[in-house]
Amino acid sequence: MAGKDIVEEIADAPAIAVEKTIETTQKILHDLPGQGSIKKAKRFWRSLGPGLTTGASDDDPSGIATYSQTGAQFGNQLLWLSVFTFPLMSVVQEMCARIGLVTGKGLAANIRTHYSRKVLYLTAVLLLAANSFNIGANLGAMAEGTRLLLPDLKFSFLVVLFAAVCLLLQIFTPYEKYARYLKYLAFVLLAYIFSAILAGLDWAAVGRATILPSITWSQEQIILICAILGTTISPYLFFWQTSQEVEEQIAIGRTTLAARQGATDAEVKDMRVDVWSGMLLSNVVMFFIIAACAAVLFPQGITQIGSAAEAAEALRPFAGEATFFLFAIGIIGTGMLAIPVLAGSASYALSESFGWRAGLGKTLKQAHGFYGVIIISMLLGLALNFVGLNPMKALIYSAVLNGLIAPIVLVLIVQLSGNPKLMGGRVNRPLTTAIGWGVVALMTVAGVSTLVALFV
């Protein structure tokens, strides 16, 4: 079978399996009450797209390691961050999605039109570097997670295998199938919810920590809070969200810029449901990972977690095989979801910055520059696993770079989405603008705090 056919078959497999399950379930329930609820659920699922995959990709193996370390080191104390960050990241991603939906262009393409290109080029290059560090850490985590289940497989083989599979899927799978693959892969995040429930949480303590913010202001806690903010409100999500809204428009036949510009009330409403649903899923998973490690590892004095795989291994003797298995499976699945988003977002940013043809809906021949950046970022990430760079150091470097990038890009996002000449009647509401500037201030403080904590 040809390589392209194999990749397409792999991409189709999860989608086909779930679709058949849905069809079978509908047949069984056809004559039973509650069909209206099923139809509503189906319509809701169909309305989900870029927002869901963006939110799900936020919980990558790097994020899992950060959340695991948070619960292991500080128990339930920082659980409130999962609630605090939800509206902030939702508002930011909604602004990004609205820019793409209304202008018909990606974020970098809009910045290129309205701002200095020097700022854009610097931001795009820093994003490529940050994402490459993150890709490297995630590839390593996926390999380690697989070896927890299949210890006879070599780390080097698995890292190369995962990098190759991710590349082949991005390059040779048509966008519609690829987007569907990412959407269904979001189900893997349920593994973390189930693993936490199996861990036996103290729900009273969890509830108190969720609604009562608490900070000790230690250096370690400041670094972790900054890492969480950098993981949840991350520049690669901004570029990916905007470009995917454009890709969705192209996929339904709006192939010209003029055809994509503007958005109906229904389209904006569906986009908001999609974005807020995706961000909710992301933060619910963050909540359960922190809670699980707080319930199991913190009481045992296991306070240092170097990777997502270490978290899974540490949970095993105390939380049982089921929790361990779900945690390990989640590492592999979230990596398969997040790595293409990391590589793709950097490629969208660079390609749009330099005016190259871009898009997962195009072939390698049509957009060789776009796919070239994806290949380079994947190879850089792959190489990091063979030069002895510690995964946690890679995450620290990525966090530092994100701390430099995020405030700059956020300023541009708030200004673009509030520009009536660009957005027409779809400009920010006053509350949205206020929250946007609040996030800019917060991410600026987080970035400066990270730099001070690490290097001063």
Within-domain flag for 254? yes
Give the contacts of 415 (CB within 8 A, at least 6 positions apart): none
Of 401 and 114, the one with more pLDDT: 114
Of the listed ranges 92-96, 265-269, 392-396, the least confidently predicted one is 392-396
Count other Cβ atoms within 10 Å, centred on residue 373: 24
pLDDT band for position 338 (cuts 50, 70, 90): very high
Q: Is the dihedral of CA 205, 56, 103, 123 positive or negative?
A: positive
Q: Does 52 score more than 80 pLDDT?
A: yes
Q: What is the DSSP string of 16-39?
A: HHHHHHHHHHHHHTTTSS-HHHHH
Residue 36's pLDDT is: 65
Within-domain flag for 33? no
- pTM tops 0.85: yes
Angle ∠(139,140,142) on CA atoms, nearest 5: 65
Residue 34's pLDDT is: 56
Of the listed ranges 44-48, 103-107, 190-194, 270-274, the least confidently predicted one is 44-48
Please, what's the largest Cα pairwise distance for the chain? 68
Specify burial of residue 362 (Cβ count, 10 A radius: 0-12, 13-18, 19+): middle
Within-domain flag for 433? yes
CA–CA dist 129, 146 (Å, integer): 26
Phi then psi for residue 21, to 5 deg, are -65, -45
For a pLDDT cut of 70, what percent of the chain falls above it?
A: 91
Mean pLDDT, range 8-27, rounded to an integer: 44
State pLDDT tens for residues 154-213: 999 999 999 999 999 999 988 888 888 888 888 888 899 998 888 888 999 999 999 999
Q: Does 294 score more than 70 pLDDT?
A: yes
Q: Does 32 score more than 50 pLDDT?
A: no
Mean pLDDT, range 296-308, rounded to an integer: 88
Within-domain flag for 26? no
Of 108, 159, 170, which Cα lies nearest the Cα of 135?
159
Residue 304's pLDDT is: 86
Mean pLDDT, range 344-356, rounded to an integer: 94
Within-domain flag for 38? no
Count of domains for the chain: 1
Is residue 443 within 8 Å of residue 227, measured between CB atoms? no
Residue 300's pLDDT is: 92
Within-domain flag for 46? no
Residue 111's pLDDT is: 94
Residue 10's pLDDT is: 38
Instruction: Tell me the average pLDDT of the chain.
Output: 87
Q: Does 400 score more than 90 pLDDT?
A: no
Region class of 201: left (phi > 0), else alpha (psi between -120 and 50), else beta: beta
Count other Cβ atoms within 10 Å, centred on residue 291: 28
Mean pLDDT, range 106-112, rounded to an integer: 94
Residue 405 domain boundaries: 3-20+53-455
Q: What is the CATH number of the domain that holds 414?
A: 1.20.1740.10
CA–CA dist 246, 413 (Å, integer): 16
Instruction: Output the six-digit token pair for 387.
Output: 């030069």
Q: Which stretches within 320-390 are classed as H helix? A: 321-354, 368-384
Is residue 21 within 8 Å of residue 101, measured between CB atoms? no
Cα Rg of the chain (Å, integer): 21
Length of the chain, in residues: 456
Within-domain flag for 27? no
Instruction: Output the six-digit token pair for 202.
Output: 């103290």
Within-domain flag for 37? no
Mean pLDDT, range 272-295, rounded to an integer: 94
List the end-to-end C-alpha distance of the chain, in Å, as a whole number. 57
CA–CA dist 383, 381 (Å, integer): 5
Q: Does 350 score more than 80 pLDDT?
A: yes
Helix (H, G, I), strand (E, B) or coil at 106: coil
Q: Which stretches within 173-300 are classed as H helix? A: 175-185, 190-198, 203-211, 219-232, 235-251, 257-260, 265-296
State pLDDT tens for residues 226-247: 888 888 899 999 999 999 999 9
Instruction: Output the six-digit token pair for 113.
Output: 């039109």
pLDDT band for position 35 (cuts 50, 70, 90): low
